[in-house]
């Protein structure tokens, strides 16, 4: 009986170590998943703009850590005449410990409020970066959207593409 109790205690200690290590891995996974979900929304907005031949807008709400995409069409498929008539095609939000810290659009930095970027029917967008932070472990990732192509790149930490000068060519 004593041997069985000893084995159970050892197994319990091993299990507690595994749980502690697993908890340490989750924040990195949580931030990574949140950033990749945002990247998928960006690519979706770009893809919709190209395939449906219209200007799709991606909104970032920095205070609510949420985003959504508005199409240029109403719910009945006809072109929207006002922003209020635009149909919301997708939306999302970050987990509790993950938030926007900065959105930079065309060189202008936003740290509060709501800002949007547009994707035209050719898939182009103004260059912008979205910096996201995990509060618990103080880790940061940046989502970069390239101008002209609208393609998405992910960077660890804070990233800001340097401005190109004439002598860089």
Q: How far apart (Å, rounded) are the C-alpha atoms in residues 111 and 89? A: 25
99 closest CA partner among 146, 34, 165: 34
CATH number at residue 80: 3.55.40.10
Between the alpha carbon of residue 51 and those of residues 60, 72, 119, 121, 161, the distances in Å are 22, 13, 11, 8, 29
Residue range(s) defining the domain that contains residue 104 = 2-168
How confident is the model over 153-168, as pLDDT tens digits? 999 999 887 766 677 5
Q: What is the pLDDT of residue 169?
A: 60
Lowest mean pLDDT among 37-41, 62-66, 123-127: 123-127
- CA–CA separation, 169 vs 156, rounded Å? 27
For residues 11 and 5, give the distance between their C-alpha atoms in angstroms, rounded to a whole number: 10
Burial class (CB in 10 A: 0-12, 13-18, 19+), 45: buried
Q: What is the pLDDT of residue 164?
A: 63
pLDDT in tens, 66-95: 999 999 999 898 999 988 899 999 999 998
Residue 22 reports pLDDT greater than 70: no
- Of 35, 25, 64, 28, which is closest to residue 138 (Cα–Cα)? 28
Q: What is the percent of the chain with per-residue pLDDT over 90, rounded to a whole number?
A: 56
The residues near 158 (Cβ < 8 Å, ≥ 6 apart) are 131, 140, 142
Residue that is written with structure tokens 């009945």 in the block: 76
% of residues, the chain, pLDDT over 70: 89
Q: Average the pLDDT over 17-26 and give the result.
A: 56
**Total count of domains within the chain:** 1
In whole angstroms, what is the distance from residue 39 CA to residue 43 CA?
Answer: 6
């Amino acid at each position: 009986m004593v041997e069985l109790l000893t084995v159970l205690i050892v197994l319990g200690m091993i299990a507690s170590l595994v749980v502690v290590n697993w908890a340490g891995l989750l924040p990195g996974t949580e931030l990574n998943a949140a950033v990749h979900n945002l990247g998928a929304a960006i690519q979706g907005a770009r893809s919709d703009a190209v395939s449906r031949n219209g200007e799709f807008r991606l909104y970032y709400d920095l205070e609510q850590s949420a985003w959504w995409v508005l199409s240029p069409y109403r719910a009945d498929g006809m072109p929207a005449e006002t922003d209020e008539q635009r149909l919301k095609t997708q939306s999302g939000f970050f987990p509790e410990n993950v938030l926007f810290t900065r959105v930079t659009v065309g060189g202008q930095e936003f740290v509060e409020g709501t800002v949007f970027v547009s994707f035209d029917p050719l898939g182009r967008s103004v260059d912008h970066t979205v910096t996201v932070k995990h509060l618990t472990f103080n880790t940061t990732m940046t989502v970069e959207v390239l101008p002209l192509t609208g393609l998405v790149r992910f960077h660890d930490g804070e990233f800001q593409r340097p401005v190109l000068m004439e002598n860089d060519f």
